[in-house]
Each structure stands twice: as C-alpha cells, then as structure tokens.
Amino acid sequence: MRPLVAPFVNLNGDSRADLIEQNMEVSKAARALLESLMRASPHGRNYPTLGFHQAREANFERSRVVSQIEQDYLQMALTIHKGEDK
C-alpha cells in the first residue's frame, strides 16, 4: 500500500481536532474489524478434511492488512496531533 500523506492544517481546511477525530474513527473501525476477524478465525474442527491451512492463512493475511490500516491511521492521528504537518 502507498503511505498515507499527512494533511496540512490551515484556516481553509478541517480543524486539527476534526482531522484527528476522522483518523481515529478509521483506526477504531479497523480495530473492531480486526476483532471480528479474530472471532471468525478458522478452527480445525470446522475443516475436518481439507482446507484448514488455506483458510487460516487467508484469514491471517486479511488480519495483517486490517492491522496495518489500523496502525497507519492511528499514526496519522498522532502525527496531526503533534503538528508534524508543517
């Protein structure tokens, strides 16, 4: 994925607080999705013959992507909070 680019806080744009809130909202939503993915993680008892390892790897792959999104947007909120947008 391409890296996120921090916005430049200015009088014509959203306030710093709004930008932080927007990014935290995405991070929290990603966290909720990640928790749902963990609850839906494949278990061997549901794959008595074949497919468990493939299902588990597919779930892990998606979990890694969602985890990265969570971290990216959390980091963006921190960057905006610290005023590193200059």
| pLDDT digit string, tens, across residues 29-76 | 999 999 999 999 999 999 998 999 999 999 999 999 999 999 999 999
pLDDT at 64: 98
Closest CA to 80 of 37, 26, 23, 28: 23
Inter-residue long-range contacts of 8-12, CB under 8 Å, 24+ positions, other chains counted? 8/85, 8/86, 9/80, 9/83, 9/85
Cβ-contact 75, 7 below 8 angstroms = no
Cβ-contact 66, 33 below 8 angstroms = yes
Angle at 84 between CA 7 and CA 4, to 5 degrees: 45
User: pTM of this prediction?
Assistant: 0.90
